[in-house]
Amino acid sequence: MSRTVVVTGGASGIGRALARELVARGAHVTVADVRNAEETAAELGCAHAVLDVTDAGAVRDLFAAVRDEHGRLDYVFNNAGIAIGGYADEMTLDHWNAAIDVNLRGVVHGVHAAYPIMVRQGFGHIVNTASLAGLTPAPLMAPYTASKHAVVGLSLALRAEAAARGVRVSVVCPGFVDTPLLDHANPDLPPTEVGEQARRAAVRAQGRLYPVDALVRDILRGVARNRALIVAPASARLVWRLVRLSPALATWAAGLAVRRARWQSGR
């Protein structure tokens, strides 16, 4: 039987690559995104929904509609997210609120909509996209880092609760991946020096970042094995292990990165 899948943020980056691979594997995929969902679905040969994950009612209605159409909801990839970068003293509350609304509340809305459906049917897998920044003291992106730490905590707590109900929960923590995310730091928000540095760094790093298709293989392998934390690539796992080994050293290294960034920007 074909699996039924919803991928939020499915029209670009990790979400698009996930949707493409899942369609190739024969799943019934719905690409959900605030923009370009229809064009992406037409290219991939799957269903689509124009969805703003900050709208809890819209998320609930979509998941229920997919369940009603197919009789089941096997996988939900709560993948929609935005990049927010800047010095903490230069970012406005709009930067903080955008990170919380999309990166955290968007996941909360996905969980709140999917989990009761999966509990009632007795199976399902919720996969939340966080970041390596959700496991490390990542500076110069405090709102983003805070939101991703929250997604990790939410996912692990729900996993412990959901296991007895037949529902699986995993959280994905990618390192730097070759997607448009860094190219579009602080979308529709006041620009920051760090955001511009991130954009330039992403352009310079093209071809050296981890390929998104390789990340998708890592994600789906981890999902198949019911991993709690899916951290990729290997360099990200190394950083994560070093942070766990010595939080003080990790914080010192993060401070060094801040000093380097200040020197480069003349601050």
| Residue 249 in tokens | 């050293």
Q: Is pLDDT above 80 for 188?
A: no
What's residue 266's pLDDT? 62
Residue type, 170: S
Phi, psi of 48 (to 5 degrees): -145, 165
Instruction: State pTM to two decimals.
Output: 0.92
> DSSP state, 120?
H
Q: Averaged over 160-165, what is the pLDDT?
A: 98
SS3 category, 32: strand
Spatial separation of the C-alpha atoms in residues 3 and 28, rounded to whole Å: 6
Residue type, 28: H
Catalytic residue among 75, 87, 115, 144: 144
Confidence of residue 13 (pLDDT cuts 50, 70, 90): very high
Residues 133-137: contacts with CB within 8 Å, 24+ apart?
Answer: 134/171, 134/173, 135/173, 135/229, 135/231, 135/240, 135/243, 136/239, 136/240, 136/243, 136/250, 136/254, 137/243, 137/247, 137/250, 137/251, 137/254
Spatial separation of the C-alpha atoms in residues 15 and 75, rounded to whole Å: 13
> DSSP state, 228?
S
Distance of CA 176 to the CA centre of its chain: 12
Among 51-55, 233-237, 256-260, name the one with the lowest average pLDDT.
Answer: 256-260
Q: Are 125 and 169 in contact (CB under 8 A)?
A: yes
Is 75 catalytic? The answer is no
> DSSP state, 41?
H
In what helix (H) or strand (E) does residue 255 lie, and over which residues does it extend?
Answer: helix 247-265
pLDDT single digits (tens) 172-182: 999 989 777 66
For domain 4-265, give its CATH number from 3.40.50.10860, 3.40.50.720, 3.40.50.80, 1.10.1280.10. 3.40.50.720
Q: In the chain, what are the domain boundaries?
A: 4-265
